[in-house]
Amino acid sequence: MNSLDITKIRNEIENTLDTFLPQVQGEFFKTAAFGNLPESVTEAHIDGLLTPCRNLMTLGGKRWRPVLQVLCAMMAAQAKGDTSDIFENPGVKESIRLTPLVEFVHTASLIHDDIEDGADSRRGKPCAHITYGLDTALNAGAWLYFLAPTAIDSLELSAEKKNLYYSMFTMELRRLHLGQAMDIYWHRNPDVFPTMAEYQAMVQNKTGTLSCLAVLLGILSGGGTKEEALKAGEIARGIGEGFQILDDVQNLTTGNPGKKRGDDIVEGKKSLPVLMHISKYPEDKDKIASCFKKAQKEGIMSCSVEECISILEKGGCIKEAFGKGHALVQDKTHELVTMFEKSEEHSPAATAIISLFEAMLPKV
């Protein structure tokens, strides 16, 4: 079987994102976003919404969630025996059109996450609330959540299918905010450490919700059933969880791109390596809590940041968490693709999903 052109998929996604969040305010964008506006509303007024969101979205990002969404649509279509040019499949075109649902929510959540964490940089640049002001960033991020479903409105679909897309979108959006609420509660209380089960629930909501949404949309648009989509979506939560664990580890080792090593400690985040260590070495709990308090007070240059990392390194839990995250992504990826495989030979879309995540996984 021929391999899929991932570059073409990415280009199609970028074109769609540019259509719904454009650099130039055309009539399609204005009508889709606001309907009929009074003539007194100018582009300068709209710019306070558009520019902060677009600037963050175009700073980078892997776009792996919308790519996964489109590949899942292709995989579902191929599982039903579609042997034509997969890019011409109506369901795949539909899925590409729906990618703002995932990528706009991701971008909006980053704007709000940076405000809630008191972060100063994102993707190597000052955060939106620093560049544009807290009021503008809050408002623009909230608006982007509501802009995303205009992608559903733009499609000629039955009311039943549109309602299903809306229902799934809003459910995952509510779950995302629940996950964030759990995370905020723990980092506001340095002495409170969640259980591993609580951490998993938080991550599967906060991080896993967008990988779940991507797969839900992809499977449904590609012709899969609601039951198949829901099952695949739950598997995808585990992929999101795995990548969050790896992100936790990277924060404590090399540091995340555009961030400083150990800033999770400054922000008071109870990541998996921390929880694993306390579970194995409960006698270190008070010392780690003290490091968190001191780092929150003194900032990223506090000696308590490296002190805390040293404690975790000596206990071996950073390495252990890395192995858990790595295995989780691999296992859940295999589980996802085998849902739609009828033979030992992977379809082009399934092969592309495996390759997508293999390329993203750090080397063991």
Annotated domain spans of the chain: 6-360
Q: Write out pLDDT tens, residues 228-278.
A: 999 999 999 999 999 999 999 999 998 877 778 898 999 889 999 999 999
121 DSSP β-pair partners:
126
CA angle 322, 327, 331 (to 5 degrees): 155
**Burial of 129 (C-beta count, 10 Å sphere; 0-12/13-18/19+):** buried
Which three-class secondary structure state does DSSP give residue 301?
A: coil
Topology given in CATH for the domain delimited by 6-360: Farnesyl Diphosphate Synthase (1.10.600)
Q: Any residues with CB less than 8 A from the CB of 14 and at least 6 apart, and which?
A: 63
Which three-class secondary structure state does DSSP give residue 339?
A: coil
What is the pTM (predicted TM-score) of this model?
0.93
- Please tell me the predicted confidence (pLDDT) of residue 305: 95
E strands along 151-302, which residues?
none
Q: Write out pLDDT tens, residues 160-217.
A: 999 999 999 999 999 999 999 999 999 888 889 999 999 999 999 999 999 999 999 9
